[in-house]
Amino acid sequence: MSRIGKKPVELAKGVTASVSGQTIEVKGPKGTRSFTAGDNVSVTVEGNEVKVTPRGLSKIARQQWGMSRSMIENLVTGVTTGFKKEMEIQGVGYRAAMAGNVLKLSLGFSHEVNFEVPKGITVTTPKPTEITVEGIDQQEVGQVAANIRNWKRPEPYKGKGIRYKGEFVFRKEGKKK
């Protein structure tokens, strides 16, 4: 039995959900998101809750039960509060700035890196050494943050690079004479 799947997903105020076949659509103050559940689970909306139940006791049905419930909960969270990834830049002369829909990164290369921000994602730079990625799709927010981080990953000797806020970078000792 799935401990996660058993719990119903509560809909916050101002959020509506509708089911048509295996697709659930959630509308909220930040936008609209939808998810198509597998054929091994059934999704129902009862009042202020969304319930997911497995069709049968096969291993695949039990796996999709908890996963579908988590995906629906992420839809509700996305349309109410949204998702956010905070990143920080460390290194002398390393900085970021927004120019329209382009994130300009100075990362010690001979040129500036221009990162085009996709639709549905908001990138802000509260300080020149901080980047905030926000949106209603958790997967897309994480992917954009990972793409930004891949331009200059934190290196273990001096710790220079782009890292997630609160990320621990294992430091190595340099050469000895």
| Tokens matching residue 49 | 């809750």
| Tokens matching residue 137 | 């799709």
Beta strands of 29-154 (E only): which ranges?
A: 31-36, 41-46, 49-54, 83-90, 95-99, 102-106, 113-116, 121-124, 130-135
Give the H or E element holding residue 28.
strand 23-28
Annotation: CATH topology of 3-80: Outer Surface Protein A; domain 3 (3.90.930)
Annotation: CATH topology of 83-164: Outer Surface Protein A; domain 3 (3.90.930)
Question: In a structure prediction context, what are the per-residue pLDDT tens digits for the chain, which is 177 residues long?
Answer: 668 888 999 998 889 999 998 999 999 999 999 999 989 999 999 989 999 999 988 999 989 999 999 999 999 999 999 999 999 999 999 999 999 999 999 999 999 999 999 999 999 999 999 999 999 999 999 999 999 999 999 999 998 999 999 999 999 998 888
| Tokens matching residue 84 | 């956010």
Whole-Å CA distances, 80 to 1, 50, 138: 29, 15, 13
Burial of 20 by CB count in 10 Å (0-12 exposed, 13-18 middle, 19+ buried)? exposed
pLDDT tens digit sequence for 7-53: 999 998 889 999 998 999 999 999 999 999 989 999 999 989 999 99
Q: pTM for the full model? A: 0.87
Range(s) for CATH 3.90.930.12 in the chain?
3-80, 83-164
Query: CA 169 to CA 148: how far, in whole Å?
Result: 17
Query: CA 31 to CA 79: how far, in whole Å?
Result: 6
